[in-house]
Structure 1
Amino acid sequence: MSIKKTGSAVWEGSLKEGKGQVSTESGTIKDAPYSFGKRFEGEPGSNPEELIGAAHASCYSMALSMIMGEAGLTPERIATEAAVTLEQDAGGFSITRIHLTTRVRSPGTDADAFHGAAEKAKEGCPVSKLFKAEITLDAALEN
Structure 2
Amino acid sequence: MTIKKSGSAIWSGGIKDGIGSVSTESGVLDKAPYGFNARFEGGKGSNPEELIAAAHASCFTMAVSGTLGEAGMTAKQMNTTATVSLEKVEGGFAITAVHLNLVAQIPGANEEAFQAAALKAKQNCPVSKLFNATITLDAKLEG
Range class of TM-score, shorter chain: over 0.9
The count of residues paired between Structure 1 and Structure 2 equals 143
Q: Which residue of 2 aligns with 1:89?
A: 89
Percent identity among equivalent residues?
59
Cα distance in 2 between the residues matched to 1:71 and 1:108: 12
| 2:130 corresponds to 1:130 | yes
Could you tell me which runs of 5 or more consecutive residues in structure 2 were left unpaired when the two chains were aligned. Answer: none
Matched, 1:111 2:73: no
Look up the equivalent residue of 1:137 and give its one-letter code.
L
Output the aligned Cα RMSD: 0.5
| One-letter amino acid of the counterpart of residue 101, structure 2 | T
Tell me the SS of whatever aligns to 2:17: coil
CA deviations over 1:83-136 (Å, ceiling 9, x no partner):
000000111100000000001100210000000000000001000000001000
Q: Which runs of 5+ in 1 are unaligned?
A: none
Aligned pairs for 1:29-108 within 5 A? 29-108=29-108
Taking structure 2 as the reference length, what is the TM-score of the superposition? 0.99
Kindly provide the CA deviation profile for residues 45-90 of structure 1, in whole angstroms up to 9, marking residues without a partner as x.
Answer: 1000000000000000000001100110111111100000000011
Write out per-residue CA displacement over residues 18-62 of structure 1, whole angstroms, 9 at most, x where no aligned residue: 000000000000000001000001102100000000000000000
In structure 2, what is the equivalent of residue 22 of structure 1?
22
- Runs (4+) of structure 1 exceeding 6 A deviation are none
